Amino acid sequence: MTTWSLREVPALESTSSPGSWLLDGFVRATNAVLLDSWGNHDLDRSAQEILGALHDASYVRKIRLVAVADGTTDDPDRVLGYAALDMPLRDNTHLGIVDIGVRPDHRRRGIGSGLHDAVIARGTEAGRSTFQASTDQRVEPPDGPDVLTPSTGEGRVSATADGTRFARTHGYALAQVARYSVFDLPFDQDHVGRLRRDADEHAGPDYRLVSWSDHCPEEWVEHYAVLVGRMSTDTPVGGLDYGEEGWDGERIRTTEKQLEERGVGLLVMAAEHVPTHTLAAFTEFKTMPHARDFVHQNDTLVLQEHRGRRLGMLVKAANLQRLAAQRPLVRRVGTWNAEENSYMLGINVALGFRPAGGSGEWQLTR
């Protein structure tokens, strides 16, 4: 049996710095787990993207551990598994966000439990009392005796899946189920154009679209911060103990710099409430440095006081049209939504997103 030990991935100056083999091993192990989970490379990570995230700890402390097979060579393939721990520093300071994975051919040898125990110990030492984690599933199981349902009553996970068993063995409770959906490109331009026109007519002249890439115009940065902050209060969190995040223009600028270092791009579409010159809704795509044919559909939000005017449909349809025009090589968009978020799921289904799996969201309280 392979013997191994735990190492921390250092926040190196660059991806080519001495010792970068641990970072490369973290990336390879992560992508091996993602391929096993999803059967494709859409959600792959890169060394540039991960290291860029490690460099900034203004709002989140990040710890990355790897389980390394005993040996003497600096070989990334010696990394058998990984663990990530994110600890918010300005809000939700009771939380630790955990991600653990082991290469498929090295499972059931105690590596995952060892990584888990290590990051929970780190989090507990830092004063964290609640830990949250996710397990992936390619297909939501049908209702039956071997499924679990969260307190929301929406969505299911298999009780016999490896991830579920691992989570329950380590004391986690199922707090929410999320749906993963995929939108295929090229798409029916007439269909999406009609949805956009209908939404625009319903919204009326009090709303107009504004957009930007990567860097929010100074005119909108504080308004954008309000929208991003309200993602933590105005979207369903199920049974997860997750409170309000504080966002302002400074935090937006810090995040933009981090995304730039990671090589991650943003395509943002927002709706201005013209009478008050404020932003009422937004949606955004994240483009990854190593993926030309796939983008992440990131946050989408309509402020509660502006709901009922089809602004969600308006900004999403407009951003899909923009994506097709500006990124003609993109073939898929992936997005996550809480199963109880019927409004946003309804928009996605109407646009043409198809269910493509999902996740269980788990919580451990100590």
Provide the residue ranges of all domains of the chain, joining segments of one domain with +: 4-180, 186-330
Query: What is the CATH T-level fold of the domain 186-330, as seen in this structure?
Result: Aminopeptidase (3.40.630)
Q: What is the pLDDT of residue 61?
A: 98
- Residue 169: Cβ within 10 Å count: 11
- Type of residue numbered 17: S
* Burial class of 126 by CB neighbour count within 10 A (0 to 12, 13 to 18, 19+): middle
**4-180 CATH:** 3.40.630.30
**Alpha carbon distance 142, 156 (integer Å):** 8
Low-confidence ranges of the chain (pLDDT < 70): none
Q: What is the pLDDT of residue 308?
A: 96
Cis peptide before 186 (omega within 30 of 0): yes
**Alpha carbon distance 231, 184 (integer Å):** 26
Give residue-wise pLDDT tens across range 125-166: 999 999 999 999 999 999 999 999 999 999 999 999 999 999
Please, what is the angle between helix 221-234 and helix 249-262, to 10°? 90
Q: What is the pLDDT of residue 2?
A: 82
Per-residue tokens: 32? 């091996």
Q: Which of these, 279, 261, 154, 123, lies nearest to 209 by C-alpha position?
A: 279
Q: What is the pLDDT of residue 106?
A: 97
The whole model's pTM is what? 0.96
Alpha carbon 86 to its chain centroid, in Å, reads 13
Fold identical between 4-180 and 186-330?
A: yes
**Alpha carbon distance 3, 25 (integer Å):** 17
* Burial class of 132 by CB neighbour count within 10 A (0 to 12, 13 to 18, 19+): buried
- Type of residue numbered 263: G
**322-to-218, 230, 268, 327 alpha-carbon distances in Å:** 22, 25, 10, 8
18 φ, ψ (degrees, to nearest 5): -55, 135
Q: Which of these, 257, 221, 243, lies nearest to 88 by C-alpha position?
A: 243
The kind and range of the H/E element at 200 are helix 189-203
Radius of gyration of the chain (CA): 21
